[in-house]
Amino acid sequence: MENYRSPQRDAAFVAYELFDFQSHYEALDLEDVSPDLVKAIHAEAAKFADNVLAPINQSGDQEGCHWNDGEVTTPEGFKEAYKQYVEGGWPSMSHPPEWGGQGLPYSLATSIAEFFSGANHSWAMYPGLSQGCISTILAHGTDALKQKFLPKLIEGQWTGTMCLTEAHCGSDLGMLRCKAEPNDDGSYTLTGTKIFISAGEHDFADNIVHIVLARLPDAPAGTKGISLFIVPKFNVSDDGELADRNQVECGSIEHKMGIKASATCVINFDGAKGFLIGEPNRGLNGMFTFMNIARIGTGLEGMAASEAALQGSLRYAKDRTQFRSPTQRQGERSADPIIVHPDVRRMLLTQKAFAEGSRALAYYCMQQVDISQRSKDSESVQLAEARLALLTPIVKAFFTETAQEATSYGIQVYGGHGYISEWGMEQLARDTRISSLYEGTTGIQSLDLLGRKVLGSKGELLAVFLKEISAFCDTVDADEQTGLWCKQLGQAMQQWQKLTATVGKAAGANPDELGAASVDYLMFSGYVTLAYYWLKMATVAKQKLAEGTSETDFYQGKVATAQFYFARLLPRAQSHAAAIEAGAASLMDIGEDMFKAD
Amino acid sequence: MENYRSPQRDAAFVAYELFDFQSHYEALDLEDVSPDLVKAIHAEAAKFADNVLAPINQSGDQEGCHWNDGEVTTPEGFKEAYKQYVEGGWPSMSHPPEWGGQGLPYSLATSIAEFFSGANHSWAMYPGLSQGCISTILAHGTDALKQKFLPKLIEGQWTGTMCLTEAHCGSDLGMLRCKAEPNDDGSYTLTGTKIFISAGEHDFADNIVHIVLARLPDAPAGTKGISLFIVPKFNVSDDGELADRNQVECGSIEHKMGIKASATCVINFDGAKGFLIGEPNRGLNGMFTFMNIARIGTGLEGMAASEAALQGSLRYAKDRTQFRSPTQRQGERSADPIIVHPDVRRMLLTQKAFAEGSRALAYYCMQQVDISQRSKDSESVQLAEARLALLTPIVKAFFTETAQEATSYGIQVYGGHGYISEWGMEQLARDTRISSLYEGTTGIQSLDLLGRKVLGSKGELLAVFLKEISAFCDTVDADEQTGLWCKQLGQAMQQWQKLTATVGKAAGANPDELGAASVDYLMFSGYVTLAYYWLKMATVAKQKLAEGTSETDFYQGKVATAQFYFARLLPRAQSHAAAIEAGAASLMDIGEDMFKAD
């Protein structure tokens, strides 16, 4: 995907025409973050993504990472790109000035993360993991630990990781065994093996700071006995200089379906020195504050993949000629560009609807994160947190599930060529497949949405969001077309509430009803949610067209895609509704030995 | 997937309990093909698939094929496996005794092809392509050419290919440019380059016989100017011995998403000697007779992948422990096997419903191919051909599309481990992705189904099939459960007819309506068709249970899966129906320049 182009125009549309980020930033005392500044930062980030990261995406996949006796070498160009990233000041964007950060809003840092991920998913994971590590230390570290680790991390001289998973426990972290024993000097000695540690070892930086989940000696069993530790690859002196090597080693790297240029490490802690952060035994709670925001980042990977698939498919569909169109023949030639064919358009529009619909919802969530982090008005903070609680699992799971369809269409539009590595489409599909697995699988997100968020709040979180949609539909200046969409959306909202009530009641009698409905419930929610954002986008676009604009193609494309979405994608919610209504019986009635004869 | 086990029990169920292959073979004067013989052949084939092919599946993916100066070396063990395959007499099973074949029915040869493909998709392609070549020569070759090529091909000493695609034309073969010029001796000189030639070069056999589509000098443009040629890698003397090397060379092999152990070749014909088969300029017609049957084979690849994904997922779901079940706790342990969780069951049941539902439809089609090839009753032949005409594109496209979901669930059930190569699940997803591209993409199959078959027969082919389903529902001894399924199926059939009428009418006014509806129409048809076969299977299973059986798990599993299918999968047809009803406008209204801003 050397031709990947960061979607700057659409980013500006969503930020400034759809959500009025100018007023948003002003309300948060961020008037320095002017539209011009955002535009300039987006342009610089796009330059880096398109010209530095995209060109090493395919070669990185082909070369992969190399492990040798505990050391990991990343593919050619990766280290150099990281150096440029650090020199460009990108790592520090959204972090507090007191630790060397630029104090820019989360939304700005995250919007450019889409560009990086779209250009090169594997590469973008290294700095992405650092952000997780930094956020955790910021939230839970003592001042001394912050002083020791944050400046170098925020500057990008060091990178970070999150060490959660062990071989026998992924989703179910309550079973983890990694141990931390207290030392006399207040530090801890960590022992155990973690797997699937992204960016766990590499050649980008002088030091790697691991955030490790482990158990104290007297810890209770289960999730209530997990604590958080900082464990650096190299020990660090009190003045922040590198000291001796810690007992942390990369035992091997995984061979994977995709993101081959991202080192996925087995990390052995063999009596490693670490530092407790946060309350003992409360590590998982501390983690989840951060995890919710990290999950938005994972959702963005899916959205970025859908965007990249659209770009590639569109380029090919305009170039490749095959068959004549019955209605749109282009001159005297033996075949027309395949974009004339309805089924090719169906695939392109699906990619566009997912990529751009997701972008709208993503920016909305970024806005809410800004508010939750910076607003001084506690009601606004509370409302933003309520919105995020509901929407985060949708962003994570729906964006990454739809990315699988969008990238599969990327292959399909190319026909047999889509299966050939040189065209880049099959890599997109392989790379993005991870995003519905890590940071909580689609199944886990769905239980979070339905169980913890919707039913856990007794429907309150859902009601808040539905109220917002209703208010929009009530006040929008609807023409005939948008009026129909509002009606369709209104019906979907009613159904959403009804389904919630149905499942809630059933789950009261039989807790398996929750898991039986959860993934279909999340997909239903995703389709309805994106319909709302497509309605909003089309409304803005229609207004721009009515006012007169030089960008008629851009705005008409928005309206046409909304039409496509309401006509052909929103109806998919019905099959998910039917599956939810079918209940748990058809899943649970089958005995374990009935699945296979032999 | 070293643990792949050929699904012999289910194959026997479908062949003998569902479709009564005993009477079927007797009616075709094949009384020698007794149930015991079929069972023995299935057992031998399973032994070969499970013990020889499956163990080299993963290593083959990892090693891939090697190209060196026109020669291709296959991965370790592949050549030896082929030798065993030839020694076992497998290549000749279904071919006529007069050319060295064993004269066994198509259904028997094809049912074991599922085992081979499930064990090792890449390997199975080499002999699979030979079958295409043999069938073409059998159908169109002169006696002299048959004498020259068939015995060695049927024996398996030589292999064959089908050379259709060129760089600029895949689906649209009318544009092909490869040239064939007549020589004085009655042979032709072929010039041109073909791409995507599976098994185009390898180290299995002494000679490779290419079937090549090319144009004669005076050929009309388009599809009506294409002829069929035999072009061997080594020329063959009249007595069938190898002579000099022909001007056929493998220019390179492709790097692909999957089936990496299958050599996908660029083949250069640089003044190669070839022989016309069939009528000049009628090559494509000749090809399509065979292609229809070949497409069943490609559909089987999808079904085999769904089966393999089910096997792998089930093994893991019974072994991997994670979280407690709220309702099915298994003793005192920290976590239960994940098969207790409803969402894991949803994925397993989806895999089972697709794999086994597809197997039922596949065996039905195999039966119809037997009849079309061997029955002496012209009405039976006509009916079988009518059924196959309708069902073949469904088998090809629906089985391969659903295989993508089934293999993706394979990954998902394994969580992060599914993404790691050593577990085998990600390879399944990569390998099976090709099957909805080659032998006619899903888009092409869908146009074939809706345009050529359903509307092209003025609904007659669909009516024949719906009549069969109605007759079954009318006569089946339904209990309350099957009665409800019959009703659901009856409604789906009515809807199928109504949708057909709607699209037919719309397409009369606007031919783009055909392509706009086609893929959703195929998916709708697939979901309804599989419902019929699940109803049939459940009916047989209920009868067996009523009669008393030692295999209660097996039969109860069938009934439970039918219940799952009707409750949670058949409703998906509704979202496809909605997309069909939405029509072409939302696809065609968007201008080409409206898809992207930049």
CA B75, CA B183: separation in Å to the nearest integer? 39
- Side chain identity, residue B40: A
Distance (Å, whole) CA B250 – CA A238: 64
Relative to beta strand A234-236, strand B71-73 is: unpaired
How far apart, in whole angstroms, are the C-alpha atoms of residue A349 and residue A342? 10
- Count of CB contacts below 8 A, A vs B? 307
**pLDDT tens-place string over residues B244-286:** 999 999 999 999 999 999 999 999 999 999 999 999 999 988 7
Does residue B533 carry a pLDDT above 60? yes
Structure tokens at A295: 């999950």
**Other Cβ atoms closer than 10 A to A239:** 7
Residue A2 has pLDDT above 70, yes or no: no
Confidence of residue B422 (pLDDT cuts 50, 70, 90): very high
Instruction: Identify which of A165, A437, A586 has the shortest CB distance to residue B564.
Output: A586
The dihedrals phi and psi of B414, each to the nearest 5 degrees, come to: -80, -5
Choose, from B249, B301, B356, B439, the residue flagged as catalytic: B439
Question: pLDDT by residue (tens digit) across B345-385?
Answer: 999 999 999 999 999 999 999 999 999 999 999 999 999 99
How many other β-carbons are positioned within 10 Å of the β-carbon of residue B155?
A: 16
Q: Which of residues 532-571 of B touch A (CB under 8 A)?
A: 551, 553-554, 556-557, 560-561, 563-564, 567-568, 571
Report if residue A569 sits inside a domain.
Answer: yes
Chain B hits for A594, CB-CB cut-off 8 Å, are 553-554, 556-557, 560
Q: Please judge whether A597 and B10 are an interchain contact, meaning their C-beta atoms are less than 8 angstroms apart.
A: yes
Mean predicted confidence (pLDDT) in A537-551? 97
Interface test with A, best of B173, B257, B330 (most A CBs within 10 A): B257
Query: Residue B597's pLDDT is what?
Result: 74
**Average pLDDT score over chain B:** 96
CA dist B116 and B131 (Å) reads 14
For residue B153, tell me if it sits in a domain.
no
What chain A residue is nearest to B319 in terms of C-alpha separation?
A168
B473 in Cβ contact with B519 (< 8 Å): no
Contact A254, B420 (CB under 8 A): yes
CA dihedral (B331, B336, B337, B340) in degrees, to 10, reads: 100
Give the count of beta carbons closer than 10 Å to the beta carbon of residue A494. 11
Smallest CA–CA distance from B322 into chain A, residue: A172
User: What is the overall mean pLDDT for chain A?
Assistant: 96
Chain A from 432 to 471: CB within 8 A of any B CB = 433-434, 436-438, 441-443, 446-447
Instruction: Please indicate, yes or no, if residue A407 is contained in any of the structural domains.
Output: no
Answer yes or no: are the C-beta atoms of B317 and B339 closer than 8 Å. Answer: yes
In A, residues 506-535, which contact B (CB 8 Å cutoff)?
Answer: 510-516, 518-519
DSSP B421: G
Indicate yes or no: CB of A443 within 8 angstroms of CB of B165: no
Residue B485 domain-assigned? yes
Look up residue B405 and give its two tokens.
């979901």
Which residue in the set B326, B335, B430 is minimally distant from A511, CB to CB? B326
Chain B, 79 to 118: residues with Cβ < 8 Å from chain A are none
Per-residue confidence band for A596, with pLDDT thresholds at 50, 70 and 90: confident
- Examine residue B221 and state whether it is found in any structural domain, yes or no: no
Higher pLDDT, B67 or A3: B67
Q: Is B591 on the interface with A (CB under 8 A)?
A: yes
Residue A504 forms contact with B (CB below 8 Å): no
Mean pLDDT of A429-453: 97
- Average confidence (pLDDT) over A42-65: 98
Nearest chain B Cα to A422, which residue?
B255
Per-residue pLDDT at B85 exceeds 80: yes
Interface test with B, best of A590, A593, A598 (most B CBs within 10 A): A590
Give the closest residue to A45 by CA, choosing from A101, A93, A102, A96. Answer: A93
CB contact under 8 A, B416 and A196: yes
Percent of chain A with pLDDT over 90: 94
In a domain, A472, yes or no: yes
Cβ contact A582–B567 (<8 Å): yes
The model's pLDDT over B10-26, given as tens digits with 9 standing for 90+, comes to 999 999 999 999 999 99
Alpha-carbon gap: B185 to the closest alpha carbon of chain A (Å): 34
| Among A155, A439, A460, A547, the one annotated catalytic | A439
Residues A258 and A545: their CA atoms lie apart, in Å, by 42
Q: Is B51 on the interface with A (CB under 8 A)?
A: no
Report, as an integer, the average pLDDT of A466-483.
Answer: 94
With an 8 Å Cβ cutoff, are A426 and B256 in contact?
Answer: yes
Nearest CA of chain A to the CA of B50: how many Å?
13
Per the CB < 8 Å rule, is B412 touching A441? yes
**pLDDT > 60? residue B325:** yes
Residue B289 has pLDDT above 80, yes or no: no
Output the six-digit token pair for A439: 């940071």
CA B534-B536-B538 angle, to 5 degrees, is 65
Provide the ipTM: 0.97
- Say which residue the tokens 């089924």 belong to: A343
Q: Determine, yes or no, domain membership for B565.
A: yes
Model confidence at A167, pLDDT cuts 50, 70, 90, reads: very high
The lowest-confidence range among A204-208, A325-329, B268-272 is A325-329
Report residue B291's pLDDT band, with 50, 70 and 90 as the boundaries: confident
Buried b (16+ CB within 10 A) or exposed e, A268-297: bbeebbbbbbbebbebbebbeebbbbbbbb
pLDDT single digits (tens) A270-324:
999 999 999 999 998 878 767 888 899 999 999 999 999 999 999 999 999 999 9
The span from the CA of A443 to the CA of A453, in Å, is 14
A10 touches B at CB < 8 Å? yes
Contact call for residues A6 and A49 (beta carbons, < 8 A):
yes
Within 8 A by CB and 6+ apart from A333, the residues are A321
- For A384, A497, B443, the CA distances from A471, given in Å and listed in that order, are 17, 16, 41
What is the number of residues in chain B?
Answer: 598
A98 is catalytic: no
Report percent pLDDT > 90 for chain B: 94
Taking the Cβ of residue A323 and every Cβ of chain B, the question of whether any pair is shorter than 8 Å is answered with yes
Confidence grade of residue A380 (pLDDT, cut at 50, 70, 90)? very high
Q: Which amino acid is at A195?
A: I
Q: Which of A125, A575, A598 to mutate to test the interface with B (most CBs of B within 10 A)?
A: A575
Contact A589 B563 (CB under 8 A): yes
| Number of domains chain A is built from | 1
pLDDT of residue A531 exceeding 70, the answer is yes
pLDDT of residue B2: 53
* Domain, as residue range, for A570: 458-584
Q: What angle do CA A7, A12, A18 make, to 5 degrees?
A: 120
> If DSSP codes are grouped into helix, strand and coil, which group holds residue B217?
coil
Give me the residue from A314, A447, A518 closest to B596, CB to CB: A314
To the nearest whole Å, the CA of A406 is away from the closest chain B CA by 13
The pLDDT score that the predictor gives to residue B293 is 83
Instruction: Verify whether the Cβ–Cβ distance A591 to B553 is below 8 Å.
Output: yes
Lowest-pLDDT range, A156-170, B133-147, B320-334, B447-461? B320-334
Nearest by CB to residue B165, choosing from A412, A416, A430, is: A416
How confident is the model at residue A580, as a pLDDT? 98
**Which residues in chain A have Cβ-Cβ distances shorter than 8 Å to B411?**
257, 433, 437
Record the tokens describing residue B425, joined without a space. 């699940």
Do residue A586 and residue B596 have CB atoms under 8 angstroms apart? no
Higher model confidence: residue B591 or residue A2? B591
Provide the shortest C-alpha distance from residue A520 to chain B (in Å): 10
A150 half-sphere exposure, CB direction, 13 A CA radius: 22
A514: pLDDT strictly greater than 60: yes
Cα three-residue angle B104-B53-B106, rounded to 5 degrees: 15
DSSP state of B187: -
Is A4's pLDDT higher than 70? yes
Q: How does pLDDT run across B566-592, given as a tens digit for each residue?
A: 999 999 999 999 999 999 999 999 999
Give me the pLDDT at residue B598, please: 63
Are A10 and B352 within 8 A, CB to CB? no
Q: Is residue B526 part of a domain?
A: yes
pLDDT score of A598 = 63
